[in-house]
Amino acid sequence: MSADRPHILVVEDEAPIVELLRYNLETSGYSVSVATDGDEALERVAEDQPDAVLLDWMLPRKSGIEVCRELRAKAGTRMLPIILLTARGEEADRVRGLETGADDYIVKPFSPRELEARLKAVLRRSHPALVEEKLEYQGIVIDLDRHRVSRNGRKVHLGPKEYRLLRTFMERPTRVLTRAQLLDSVWGRDVHVEERTVDVHIRRLRKVLNGEGEPDAIRTVRSGGYALDLDR
């Protein structure tokens, strides 16, 4: 598990299940927040920006399915990993759950170990740095536990912002990321920073990451943004 603790929102109205989930997840190094109904869940997601949501189907007033649908309809949470928890086990329900856009579906009663394996799988797809110990791409390696970076065996010393930039790129190599996406990921959604600040830190990252004779690892995409791309 990396130094950044993945933040999980548990949405469940039954207190014993909340406590079970909280205990198990916190023991495994996750940070946990809780909502006990659908409306509170939507508020929490907006405020806390969780890395994944464990969403009970049967909730008072607004059901888990409705919450899931609403989250999928918003740009900011379209990709948020969601695992539906439910007592229903019928195949038709399962299909319905996944059709609303949940990433996975788990039937109660579940073992904490199974739940954690599923959670790790959805996080790995959406945000590898939260569950992997190392990210590697074309000779560039980030040791996420120790915050160490190397390229072709050479140690690369990065400032905190450059480290986070590189980590963001390493989670999705070759993908073009806009300045706005990089700002969200490195500075956080609530902080106001001008987009050209990104260019300044990209310049610093390039200076340290690109050793002598090595190709530029960062590709500038005109009016698009930047990509970590050595597959050219």
List of residues contacting Ca ion (CB under 5 A): 13, 56, 58
Nearer to Ca ion, 22 or 161 (CB): 22
Nearer to Ca ion, 84 or 122 (CB): 84
Long-range contact pairs involving 154-161 (C-beta distance under 8 Å, separation at least 24): 154/211, 156/208, 156/209, 157/208, 158/205, 158/208, 158/209, 159/204, 161/186, 161/187, 161/201, 161/204
Nearer to Ca ion, 29 or 60 (CB): 60
Cβ count near 23 (within 10 Å): 12
Least distance to Ca ion from the beta carbon of 113, Å?
A: 22
Least distance to Ca ion from the beta carbon of 21, Å?
A: 12
φ and ψ at residue 63, rounded to 5 degrees: -75, 165
- Chain residue at closest Cβ approach to Ca ion: 58
φ and ψ at residue 47, rounded to 5 degrees: -80, -45
Nearer to Ca ion, 61 or 146 (CB): 61
Least distance to Ca ion from the beta carbon of 99, Å?
A: 20
Q: Nearest-CA neighbor of 69 among 36, 43, 102, 107? A: 102
Q: Report the SS3 class of residue 80.
A: coil
Nearer to Ca ion, 56 or 171 (CB): 56
Least distance to Ca ion from the beta carbon of 102, Å?
A: 15
Least distance to Ca ion from the beta carbon of 55, Å?
A: 10
